[in-house]
């Protein structure tokens, strides 16, 4: 099968890491276009050098003639580049500047916000880029599939795909826009799958201890977003958005900040029978990468910590291998940076109280792990015709 042609709109944290993850899979992917608000020179530099994930070894990047150029020992790849503010504008520029490549595009990975620092886009980015109406120009121009790297906020349902959990639900004849959900949903879903299928989840609550994102303030600042970005029901002490908006936001480098997460409720999109049974919060912490989700479930079948760990370990070695991990060593957050798995259970922390309350920790590299699943989803979409 010929490599699928891919364009990326949004070369932020996830867009760049997805590019890294997919580029060397030349048998699967051919990149034909990149778009971002930043210049080609900036994007090339940020693809080459990364404060968290290190220099991209074996790859030299530059900008030349309206392209991002990637040079390895085996090949030189020139990828047309544009600076557009919207998918529609990007399509116009792409047709004008790179008509030949644009006509060949068959798949699009779409990073919702060029400024996203995790699996979650900032709110303006989500509202601007993650609705079906904004994705439609791609389909109108002949791009048959769009893969979105954040939850899609739209009244019309879009298939949320968590690889390893429900990717078999993808139907190419109807699912032209799909989303890879969020990084935390990808961490939580494999754990929920095992616990729910083996023990039955009655209800539960999660807390994700999540590193900072660039929606937060580095130093104390007035809350300029308060008047324009409130979303009813959201709790955003990190940047002042939501019903409990504050007049100012405090330094992300010096505070633990409670905030909202839709990851627990989004599980119902993966496992519909759990609708209304799970909820949770997030706490932003002053770290740049690698997060942990604290899961508490009331299960229907009495169990023990040993049984829970045995079930998770078996899944990590069989039907969820490469997606769910199981770790017995006393590791800490930095040890999970650059881990490509979606979720890694910390075995020593598993507890069971009174037979039916299960508590466990699941680590995840919320950037690299999520980006790898995004690439896996793009490959799944490409080969499911």
Tell me, what's the pLDDT at 72? 97
Q: Is the pLDDT of residue 121 over 70?
A: no
Tell me, what's the pLDDT at 138? 77
Dihedral, CA of residue 360, residue 189, residue 9 and residue 169, to nearest 10: 170
Strand partners, 326: 345
Tell me, what's the pLDDT at 124? 27
pLDDT digits (tens, 9 = 90+) for 164-190: 999 999 999 999 999 999 999 999 999
Query: Which option is the CATH number for 4-156: 3.20.20.100, 3.40.50.720, 3.40.50.2000, 1.10.760.10?
Result: 3.40.50.720
CA dist., res. 250 & res. 304, Å (int): 42
Residues 222 and 335: beta-carbon distance below 8 Å: no
Q: Please state the rounded mean pLDDT for residues 96-125.
A: 35
CA dist., res. 85 & res. 83, Å (int): 7
Query: Which tokens belong to 95?
Result: 């047709």
Burial 249-278 (b: 16+ CB within 10 A, else e): bbebeebebebbbbbbbbbebbbeebeebb
Q: Look up 183 and say whether it is catalytic.
A: yes
**For residue 145, how many C-alpha atoms fall within 13 Å in the half-sphere facing its CB?**
25
Confidence of residue 137 (pLDDT cuts 50, 70, 90): confident
Q: Could you say which of 67, 183, 187, 229 is catalytic? A: 183
Confidence of residue 213 (pLDDT cuts 50, 70, 90): confident
Q: Mean pLDDT, the chain, as a whole number?
A: 85
Tell me, what's the pLDDT at 369? 98
pLDDT digits (tens, 9 = 90+) for 243-270: 455 677 889 999 999 998 889 889 999 9
Q: Is the pLDDT of residue 56 over 70?
A: yes
CA dist., res. 185 & res. 270, Å (int): 9
Residues 114 and 36: beta-carbon distance below 8 Å: yes
For a pLDDT cut of 90, what percent of the chain falls above it? 70
Q: Please state the rounded mean pLDDT for residues 73-78.
A: 97
Shared fold status for 4-156 and 184-366: no
Which CATH code for domain 184-366?
3.30.360.10
Compute CA distances 244 → 50, 79, 105, 208, 222, whole Å: 35, 44, 44, 20, 15
The pTM of the full predicted model, rounded to 2 decimals, is 0.87
pLDDT digits (tens, 9 = 90+) for 276-324: 999 999 999 999 999 999 999 999 999 999 999 999 999 999 999 999 9
Confidence of residue 351 (pLDDT cuts 50, 70, 90): very high
């Amino acid at each position: 099968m010929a490599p699928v042609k891919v364009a990326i709109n949004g070369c932020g944290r996830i867009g760049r890491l997805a590019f890294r993850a997919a580029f060397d899979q030349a048998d699967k992917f051919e990149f034909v276009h990149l778009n971002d608000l930043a210049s080609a020179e900036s994007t090339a530099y940020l693809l080459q050098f990364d404060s968290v994930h290190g220099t991209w070894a074996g790859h030299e990047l530059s900008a030349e003639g309206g392209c991002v150029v990637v040079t390895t020992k085996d090949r030189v790849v020139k990828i047309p580049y544009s600076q557009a503010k919207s998918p529609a504008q990007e399509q116009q520029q792409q047709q004008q500047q790179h008509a030949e490549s644009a006509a060949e595009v068959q798949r699009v990975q779409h990073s919702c916000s060029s400024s996203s620092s995790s699996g979650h886009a900032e709110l303006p980015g989500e509202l601007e880029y993650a609705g079906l109406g904004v994705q439609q120009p791609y389909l109108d121009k002949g791009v048959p599939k769009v893969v979105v790297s954040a939850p899609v906020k739209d009244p019309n349902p879009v298939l949320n795909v968590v690889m390893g959990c429900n990717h078999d639900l993808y139907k190419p004849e109807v699912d032209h826009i799909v989303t890879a959900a969020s990084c935390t949903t990808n961490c939580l879903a494999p754990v929920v799958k095992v616990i729910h299928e083996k023990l039955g989840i009655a209800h539960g609550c999660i807390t994700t201890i999540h590193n900072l994102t660039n929606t937060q303030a580095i130093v104390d600042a007035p809350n300029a977003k308060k008047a324009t970005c409130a979303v009813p029901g959201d709790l955003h002490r990190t940047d002042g958005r939501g019903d409990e908006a504050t007049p100012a936001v405090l330094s992300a480098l010096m505070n633990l900040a409670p905030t909202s997460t839709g990851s627990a409720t989004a599980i119902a999109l993966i496992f519909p029978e759990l609708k209304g049974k799970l909820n949770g919060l997030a706490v932003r912490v002053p770290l740049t990468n690698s997060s942990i989700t604290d899961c508490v479930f009331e299960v229907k079948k009495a169990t023990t910590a040993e049984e829970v760990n045995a079930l998770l370990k078996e899944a990590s070695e069989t039907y969820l291998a490469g997606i769910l991990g199981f770790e017995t060593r006393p590791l800490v957050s930095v040890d999970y940076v650059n881990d490509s798995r979606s979720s890694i259970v910390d075995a020593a922390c598993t507890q069971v109280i009174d037979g039916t309350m299960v508590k466990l920790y699941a680590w995840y590299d919320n950037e690299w792990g999520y980006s790898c699943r995004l690439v896996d989803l793009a490959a799944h979409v490409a080969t499911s015709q």
